[in-house]
Structure formats: structure tokens, C-alpha cells
Amino acid sequence: MKLDERRRLHGLSADDLKKELVQAEENLMQFNFDRGLNKNVTSSSLHNTRKMIAILKTLLREKELVAEAGFSNIEEYKKFRAVERSAYKAGK
């Protein structure tokens, strides 16, 4: 996946990510169906689709965690977690 595509995905809302996820899952189902019919399906297309599904699910989960923690964006959440981790390590 190209960096531009990853940045585009990070900028999407949760609803848009869910739509992308549904589309990717439909693509995977179609690839598996075509593979079962011995049509010309490359293993890289299956791999890339599975990878896209994993990325989309990860981004959705990140957005859920940010919303639960009460932060406005992922960068604030990451800074908070870094400070939290360093305080934990200092206390050991």
C-alpha cells in the first residue's frame, strides 16, 4: 500500500472506513468465489485485499479507542499513551 493511500485512509471518518471495509470484504468474497471456479485470480490480489481489510479494521479500532478516551484525534491519544508508558517505566 502506498503512503498516499494510507494517508487517505487515516483522513476518512468512521462511516467512510466502514464503507471501504464492506467493499474490501465483498472483493475478497468475489476473489474466493472466482478462485473456486478456476478463474484467473492472482495470490497477490488475495493477499492485498486481506491486508487492506486488516488495515481498515485497525483504523476503525483506533478511532473507537480515541473516542472512548475523549481525545479529538489520534495524535493527542498517542502523546498521552507515550507519557503514560514512560511514567509506568519510571515507576518500576
CA dist 90 to 22, 55, 78, Å?
A: 43, 33, 18
| pLDDT, tens digit (0-9, with 9 covering 90-100), for 20-78 | 999 999 999 999 998 888 888 888 989 999 999 999 999 999 899 888 888 888 888 88
Q: What distance in Å separates the CA atoms of residue 58 and residue 38, rounded to the nearest whole number?
A: 32
Domain ranges of the chain: 3-91
- Cell digits for 25? 470484504
pTM: 0.79
Whether the CA torsion 70, 74, 75, 78 is positive or negative: it is positive
Q: Supply the Cα-derived Rg of the chain in whole angstroms.
A: 18
